Structure 1
Amino acid sequence: MTNHIALYEPLMPANTGNIARTCAGTNTKLHLIRPLGFNTDDAHMKRAGLDYWDKVDITYHDNLDAFLKSIPDDKYLYLITKFSDKVYSDQDLSDTSVDHYFLFGKETTGLPEDFMRRNPEKCLRIPMSDNIRALNLSNSAALVIYEAVRQQHFAGLELSHHYEHDKLD
């Protein structure tokens, strides 16, 4: 079982870098769907991911269709959008025998409306007030992936950490 975060045409390198760091910390695969709004050598993106880039499994897709074709079973594809009545934390993400895919839209316009309208059963919402259009993309990705790993009992993640001097030889 693997969790996957997919970013549809991300525009801001810092968001992508922060999400890559979250992916490294949760053993989550990252999918970037072109076109990207930045060069992957961008200093802001590299800085946001710090020195964790070698720990991130990244796959690039030429477009949304190519990404969708790469998914073995779209039953476990979730579209994260404000246009849904289903709350992300109410979704059962506990099955560790399958791969879960969380698709996020670009920072300015989200996912294509026609695509979401064709797949309303896959749409999940993060509750928020109407004071803002949307939460920050990297914050949204962190909320959703940590809900998934929480439901999966943090499988494969370190539940406690000790200072060096506390470790037994």
Structure 2
Amino acid sequence: MTRILFFEPRIAGNTGNTIRLAAGTGAELHIVKPLFDFEDKKVRRAGLDYHDLAVVHLHDSFEAALEALLPARIFAFTAHTERRYTDVEYEPTDVLLFGPEPTGLPDEILEHEAITDKLRIPMVSGRRSMNLANCASIAIYEAWRQQGFAGAL
């Protein structure tokens, strides 16, 4: 199943929601530190009782995450590109990379040699961004749909 990678997430509730998403879809969730207190009540509450059902990996750096995930195609999600997330034929080993809530991915990550392509999720003109967990949901479900919802009931 396609994997989700969060680069330095800042909002515990979004990560908790994505843990629940990972459990429900079978996607692995990889998280690059630093981040909030992972034992935060907001993470637990948002993830409900799905924490034990999700595969979550914490990485000390982006490079450490790459060591664990490569070889793979890595798609960086950003509002600063024209290519849409629906323009890709996803493969089970792909990685969907998302940046921190207030800023998105920094330029050094967007321009990293390991990034296969930059993708955007369309939204109404004049809007800055969408919720991190919602973006991960939109993207992982498109990848999973393309793979025939493998493993789903």
Structure 1 residue runs of 5 or longer lacking an equivalent are: 159-169
Match of 1:69 in 2: 67
Unaligned runs of 5+ in 2: none
One-letter code aligned to 1:3: T
Output aligned runs, 1:3-152, within 5 Å. Answer: 3-36=2-35, 38-74=36-72, 76-93=73-90, 95=91, 98-118=92-112, 121-152=116-147
Give the aligned CA root-mean-square deviation in angstroms: 1.4
Q: Report which stretch shifted further, 84-93 or 116-125.
A: 116-125
How far residue 118 of structure 1 moved from its aligned partner, in angstroms, is 4.3
TM-score (norm 2): 0.93
* Contact 2:33-2:59 within 8 A present in 1 as well: yes
Alpha-carbon displacement from aligned partner over 1:138-157 (angstroms, at most 9, x marks no partner): 10000000000000110011
- Cα distance in structure 1, aligned partners of 2:56 and 2:130: 24
| 8 Å contact from structure 2 (residues 74, 116) kept in 1 | no
Q: Percent identity?
A: 39
SS of equivalent residue, structure 2 residue 96: strand
Runs of 4+ in 1 over 4 A off after TM superposition: 118-121
Q: What is the TM-score with the length of structure 1 in the denominator?
A: 0.85
Cα displacement string for residues 34-58 of structure 1 (whole angstroms, at most 9, x for unaligned residues): 000x211111110000001000111
One-letter amino acid of the counterpart of residue 91, structure 1: V
